[in-house]
């Protein structure tokens, strides 16, 4: 009996090349009895097909056809050697129209046929499957007017926007509320942006939710709640949909019935994965260094946190005498980050040695730069946090799982599987290698609950308020009645501001209603607060609205600290000056440069320009509702929230930064009068599209950043 393990071992040596026919015939036998095992063996041979003599190539191509790997037969000589039957099969898996250069594998084709027939699909498939490509295929083949794509991170918003630019002749590509919709639109949004823009979006024909496993409340907290709200609102449009994610075991049958869709699980993989265990002796740092010393190909290292990534980099640089980078773009990038952030920041030091760091505290433009450098193979070693799983759609030949935990919990099999899936890539790395320090967790793929259509006692109240009453159980109706049978706040307000749990909104209203007139006067400000006004609102955000948890994730550790940092940003009205002074201030208080830089960056990105304006907008509605009942002067926090959200910069700057253009370069282009500070985003992009922006670059780093940005917006000068 033929043993697949023995064949795999033979392929790993050079000996089989002396008699390829024997191995190819054995693989053919395996393909007949076990298609999945046979496919993996075919992939391993495909990696080495350049070493096969020409006479054996047709046999390998026929095997690739047999196991459904049509995309791997791409050059003219291989196509000419196919039998008529196989040539017809191959042609049947080639896309049409604008996507005609793409060939799908057999499992992709099965899914695409269903989507093109108008069926709604929930798909669970491996990372290497090519799930996202099917989105493009459907858009290219069907005549939609309004498409909504929900992705989990702003980094993926930008990545998807660039991919969707192939449809720019037919669709307006919209990623922010500052853009105007047209007759045909593709909206690419996070769940938060979708909920904020819902009223601006015309009737939806087709929607997609990427990484749909994030609908499970347990893993993502309030973001999962908002994703469920987005699904609920989108499903009410009755539009066709496609939900995609990796390695999901099942979803509730009741959800499938309510949504009138199919749940499909595919295990088709386009790369082979090898798992190798690393020794912990003499220690993990030395073991990792030895691996990197001799490893072949680009490597991503998963670390549990930004602090862990810094520790790994520092340890590696101390253990090895790593040569300085010679690539001018990397050298200038290191200088640029040292100048604009801090010369001792390890991100800058890593770049000097050709090593990248990627995590959620980096400015988005810098995060994009790191991925581009990795894609262009100017960086061979990339240290990542959970951005390895979400927000970074890239792969490497090698993945090292340095830390076996995430959010202080051991990696579960699902998360491990997702990290593992980042190794290998079609046409580049046929075999991905995963290195671990501990044994992988036991196979136990998740059940995705989707509480918006399967509510339970654990479902957050903010989501229950959005679900039609007739779809709730008796107990859940009683839970909702607590909110309808109270007179502190209108039920409409609780439903409208669903990003905050209604219990917290009512706590805030109850607290405010009990304040003395003097205490209340500190909340009765409009547009321009003083320090005491900001402190009064910060304390309510921290205590009653329970903003402490999200604030701490953005390096804000008390209501007084929140007040001081917001007040200082408000006084300076300049991001660069605020950033520089706060980094210096943090270091003077004993913080290390790395921690100081990343605390300030985290505050600007996660709190000042995102969560703080959200809380202030909600608080404005709650305070005014109470003030109106008490018959006293109202407040207006919205103008203040808006300028903080923009970080006192032109409206367009934040979107340009998402597109990969740092604030510092945007400011330079503004000063050169290439656009005006009051221009709408679409007008700014049109203007920047038609100018040779590299004329305004200082050095190679800025030139390449600008070129990448301009390519991403379809610029005339690249």
Does 158 score more than 60 pLDDT? yes
- CATH level 3 topology of 106-265: Rossmann fold (3.40.50)
Residue 18, pLDDT score: 85
What per-residue confidence (pLDDT) applies to 17? 85
pLDDT reported for residue 1: 61
In this predicted model, what pLDDT tens digit does every residue of 491-509 receive, in sequence order? 999 999 999 999 999 999 9
pLDDT in tens, 286-316: 999 999 999 988 999 999 999 999 999 999 9
State pLDDT tens for residues 174-189: 999 889 999 999 999 9
Pairing of strands 405-406, 409-410: antiparallel
Least trusted range by pLDDT, from 147-161, 417-431, 458-472 = 417-431
Residue 166 per-residue DSSP state: G
pLDDT digit string (tens) for 529-576? 999 999 999 999 999 999 999 999 999 999 999 999 999 999 999 999
Instruction: Give 467-527 as a DSSP string.
Output: S-GGGS-HHHHHHHHHHHS-SSS-HHHHHHTTTS-HHHHHHHHHHHHTS-HHHHHTT--BS
Distances (CA, A) of 406 to 285, 302, 385, 413, 469: 19, 10, 9, 12, 37
CATH number, domain 272-436, options 3.40.50.300, 3.40.50.970, 2.10.77.10, 3.30.750.200: 3.40.50.300
- Residue 218 confidence (pLDDT) above 70: no
pLDDT at 417 over 90: no
The torsion angles phi and psi of 713, rounded to 5 degrees, stand at: -105, 10
Please check the confidence at residue 219 and state whether its pLDDT lies above 70.
no
Q: Which residues contact 516 (CB under 8 A, 6 or more apart)?
A: none
Q: What pLDDT score does 83 carry?
A: 83
Q: Is the pLDDT of residue 141 over 90?
A: yes
DSSP class of 250: B
- Interval 698-706 mean pLDDT: 95
DSSP code, position 191: H
Residue 190 confidence (pLDDT) above 60 = yes
**Tokens 């042609």 label which residue?**
91
């Amino acid at each position: 009996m033929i043993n697949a393990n023995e064949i795999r071992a033979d392929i790993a040596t050079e000996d089989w090349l002396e008699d390829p026919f024997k191995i190819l015939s054995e693989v053919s036998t395996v393909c007949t009895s076990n298609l999945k095992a046979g496919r993996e063996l075919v992939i391993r041979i495909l990696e080495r097909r350049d070493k096969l003599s020409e006479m054996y190539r047709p046999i390998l191509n026929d095997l690739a056809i047999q196991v459904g790997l049509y995309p791997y037969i791409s050059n003219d000589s291989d196509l000419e050697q196919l039998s008529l039957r196989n040539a017809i099969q191959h042609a049947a898996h080639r896309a049409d129209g604008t996507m005609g250069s793409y060939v799908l594998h057999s499992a992709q084709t099965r899914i695409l046929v269903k989507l093109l027939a108008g069926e709604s699909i929930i798909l669970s498939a491996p990372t290497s499957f090519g799930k996202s490509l099917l989105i493009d295929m459907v858009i290219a083949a069907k005549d939609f007017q309004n498409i909504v794509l929900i992705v989990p991170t702003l980094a993926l918003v930008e990545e998807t926007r660039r991919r969707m630019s192939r449809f720019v002749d037919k669709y307006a590509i919209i990623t922010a509320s500052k853009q105007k919709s047209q007759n045909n639109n593709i909206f690419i949004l996070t769940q938060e942006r979708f909920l904020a823009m819902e009223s601006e979006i015309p009737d939806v024909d087709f929607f997609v939710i990427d990484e749909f496993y994030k609908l499970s409340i347990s893993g993502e907290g309030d973001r999962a709640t908002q994703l469920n709200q987005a699904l609920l609102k989108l499903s009410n449009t009755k539009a066709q949909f496609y939900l995609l994610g990796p390695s999901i075991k099942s979803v509730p049958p009741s959800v499938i019935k309510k949504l009138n869709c199919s749940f499909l699980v595919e295990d088709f993989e386009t790369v082979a994965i090898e798992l190798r265990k690393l020794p912990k002796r003499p220690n993990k740092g030395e073991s990792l260094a030895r691996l990197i010393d001799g490893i072949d190909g680009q490597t991503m290292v998963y670390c549990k946190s930004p602090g862990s990534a810094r520790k790994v980099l520092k340890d590696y640089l101390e253990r090895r005498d790593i040569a300085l980078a010679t690539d001018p773009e990397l050298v200038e990038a290191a200088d640029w980050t040292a100048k604009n952030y801090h010369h001792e920041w390890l991100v800058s030091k890593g770049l000097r040695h050709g090593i990248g760091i990627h995590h959620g505290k980096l400015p988005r433009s810098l995060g994009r730069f790191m991925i581009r450098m990795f894609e262009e193979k100017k960086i061979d070693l990339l240290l990542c946090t959970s951005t390895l799983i979400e927000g970074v759609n890239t792969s490497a030949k090698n993945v090292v799982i340095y830390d076996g935990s995430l959010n202080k919990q051991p990696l579960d099999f699902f998360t491990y599987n997702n990290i593992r899936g980042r190794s290998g890539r079609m046409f580049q790395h046929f075999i991905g290698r995963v290195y671990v320090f501990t044994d992988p967790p036991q196979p136990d793929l998740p059940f995705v609950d989707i509480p918006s259509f399967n509510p339970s006692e654990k479902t957050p109240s903010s989501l229950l308020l959005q679900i039609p009453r007739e779809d709730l159980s008796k107990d859940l109706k009683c839970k909702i009645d607590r909110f309808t049978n109270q007179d502190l706040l209108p039920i409409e307000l609780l439903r409208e501001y669903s990003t905050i749990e209604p219990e917290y909104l009512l706590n805030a209203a109850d607290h405010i209603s009990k304040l003395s007139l003097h205490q209340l006067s500190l909340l009765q400000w409009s547009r321009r607060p003083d320090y005491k006004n900001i402190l009064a609102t910060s304390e309510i955000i921290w205590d009653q609205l329970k903003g402490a948890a999200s604030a701490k994730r953005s390096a804000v550790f008390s209501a007084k600290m929140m007040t001081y940092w917001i007040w200082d940003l408000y006084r300076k009205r300049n991001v660069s000056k605020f950033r520089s002074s706060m980094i210096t201030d943090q270091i003077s208080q004993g913080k290390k440069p790395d921690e100081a830089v990343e605390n300030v960056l985290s505050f600007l990105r996660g709190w000042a320009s995102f969560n703080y304006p959200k809380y202030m907008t909600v608080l404005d509605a709650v305070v005014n509702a109470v003030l109106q009942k008490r018959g006293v002067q109202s407040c207006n926090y919205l103008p203040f929230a808006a300028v903080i959200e923009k970080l006192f910069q032109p409206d367009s700057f934040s979107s340009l930064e998402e597109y990969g253009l740092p604030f510092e370069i945007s400011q330079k282009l503004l000063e050169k009068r290439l656009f005006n500070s009051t221009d709408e985003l679409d007008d700014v992009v049109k203007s920047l599209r038609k100018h040779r922006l590299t004329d305004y670059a200082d050095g190679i780093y800025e030139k390449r950043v600008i070129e990448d940005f301009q390519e991403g917006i379809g610029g005339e000068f690249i």
